[in-house]
Amino acid sequence: MSGLDLETYSTTLFERVSIQECGGGGSKAGEEEDGFDRLGSQALYAFVYPNFMINRYGPWMDTNLVIPLGPRKCKVVFDYFLDPSLKDDEAFIRRSLEESKRVQMEDVVLCENVQRGLESPAYDKGRYALVEKPMHHFHCLLHQNLKI
């Protein structure tokens, strides 16, 4: 379970930035049954065109810099930041890193499957879903840059 309350999901678009926000779900604002609470009461995801992301949830923040290595390959550089009050909480840090890795691996599987689908002869272009505003925004910016 993601721990997010998808009913509260919202997106805001700016010139070269998209921000997605979502409230924490679960028992107590993102807290799991064992008391672990990396999510907090709200998650915020910011994408800065063309290749930088900021993910903030509770006392935890990470940044992702995506470096293209070819048409079907990239490298993602992760940096992690933590509220100073938890800097000595080794169990929280370890668990947070494990959760981050789990989510990233889920994302890798999704991205690889989408790429395979896009390259499939069965794929035909279509419209973006309403929740895909940030993706549409990215593709519009990319189109502007590529036609220059």
pLDDT tens-digit map of 84-123: 999 999 999 999 999 999 999 999 999 999 889 989 999 8
Percentage above 70 pLDDT, the chain:
87
CA-to-CA distance for 76 and 72, rounded, in angstroms?
Answer: 13
Give pLDDT tens digits for 21-30: 998 765 444 4
How many domains, the chain?
1
Q: Which domain holds residue 122?
A: 4-146
The sheet with strand 73-82 has its strands ordered as: 4-13, 17-24, 42-48, 52-57, 60-70, 73-82
CA-to-CA distance for 1 and 142, rounded, in angstroms?
Answer: 33
> Encoding tokens for residue 75?
């490298």
> Encoding tokens for residue 20?
């997605």
Give pLDDT tens digits for 61-90: 999 999 999 988 999 999 999 999 999 999
CA-to-CA distance for 75 and 66, rounded, in angstroms?
Answer: 6
Q: Residue type at 101?
A: K
Reported pTM: 0.81
